[in-house]
Amino acid sequence: MTSSLALSITTFIYGAAASAYICGWIFKKNFMNHSGTFLTIMALAINTVGISLRWIESYELGIGHAPLSNLYESLVFFSWTIAAIYLSIEYRYKNKTIGAFAMPLAFMSLAYASLPSINNDIQPLIPALKSNWLIAHVFTCFLGYAGFAVAFGLSTMFLMKSKDTSRFSHLLPDDTMIDELTYQMIMFGFLFLTAGIITGAVWANSAWGAYWSWDPKETWSLITWFIYATVIHARLMRGWSGRRIAWISILGFCAVLFTYFGVNLLPGLHSYGK
């Protein structure tokens, strides 16, 4: 089995898992929810195999680096982190409805990576990027992004729950639980994004001789950091909760998406989109 085949299979299983969770939520069928959990575990396992195979293939090609160096590989890893974090939440809170809002994000990430316009070739690193900091920087950043992605799904749930006209609001978890879990995911994402910015600065200094160069990716990472810092400050110092936190969480995830995808359209040192 090749990494491409494993990851193609994973895409379909993530899609099936998302569909199962959505059907379980709408039709209140426990067997669909259980099927979603089983499919998510299976997809995460095959996703792990796909990442491992791609790592091995890179060494067979004489390139030899962690599969975290381009847009395709980052999307694959993004899906993996979302699924892993979601399963941890499901195990702790025993609530499968969250899967209807989290797993579609994992599926869409890997489905986007499967588009013909996304180059999935294993490519050598440029000399400046050949560093052990690669794994630390990308791993922490994408754990942060995944935490924010799950927080986005939870925020959507909260706004749907608080809207009286929603047909399915009564099928969602309690407001307090969603609100608290959203904040926890924001805290989780914020801590790892902070670690990602720090490791990135250290890596940049070793690669280019400067900790910070106001590259578009760096600038928007800082903007994203400030948005989520505002959420945490408002929660701790002002006692904000509910809809206000949910809306800022959604705004923050929009900033995450622009940091991830939008800045690739701008000239800079980061070249995930290339």
Mind listing the pLDDT tens digit for each residue in 138-172?
999 999 999 999 999 999 999 987 765 556 666 78
Same domain, 139 and 205: yes
Same domain, 176 and 243: yes
Q: Are 139 and 68 in contact (CB under 8 A)?
A: yes
Q: Mark which of 125, 151, 169 sits at the end of a domain.
A: 125
Residue at 205: amino acid letter? N
Same domain, 212 and 229: yes
Same domain, 138 and 271: yes
Q: Which domain holds residue 197?
A: 131-274
User: What is the rounded end-to-end Cα distance, in angstroms, of the chain?
Assistant: 27
Say how far apart CA 108 and CA 187 lie, in whole Å: 24
The sign of the torsion formed by the CA atoms of 9, 10, 15, 18 equals: positive
Same domain, 28 and 55: yes
Q: Mark which of 125, 146, 167 sits at the end of a domain.
A: 125
Structure tokens at 116: 């013909």
Same domain, 273 and 140: yes
Q: CATH code at 90? A: 1.20.120
Q: Mark which of 125, 157, 184 sits at the end of a domain.
A: 125
List CB contacts of 174: < 8 A, sequence separation 6 or more.
none
Q: How many residues does the chain have?
A: 274
Predicted TM-score of the model (pTM): 0.92
SS3 content of the chain, % helix, strand, coil (to 5): 75, 0, 25
Same domain, 140 and 168: yes
SS3 116: coil
Same domain, 76 and 188: no
Q: Are 107 and 47 in contact (CB under 8 A)?
A: no
Same domain, 189 and 268: yes
Same domain, 241 and 174: yes
- In tens digits, the chain (274 residues) has pLDDT values of 899 999 999 999 999 999 999 999 988 889 999 999 999 999 999 999 999 999 999 999 998 888 988 899 999 999 999 999 999 999 999 999 999 999 999 999 999 999 998 999 998 887 767 778 888 999 999 999 999 999 999 999 999 877 655 566 667 888 899 999 999 999 999 999 999 999 988 888 887 778 888 888 888 999 999 999 999 999 998 888 889 999 999 999 999 999 998 776 655 555 544 4
Say how far apart CA 121 and CA 151 lie, in whole Å: 32
Structure tokens at 245: 């936190």
Structure tokens at 102: 């989290």
Q: What is the pLDDT of residue 274?
A: 46
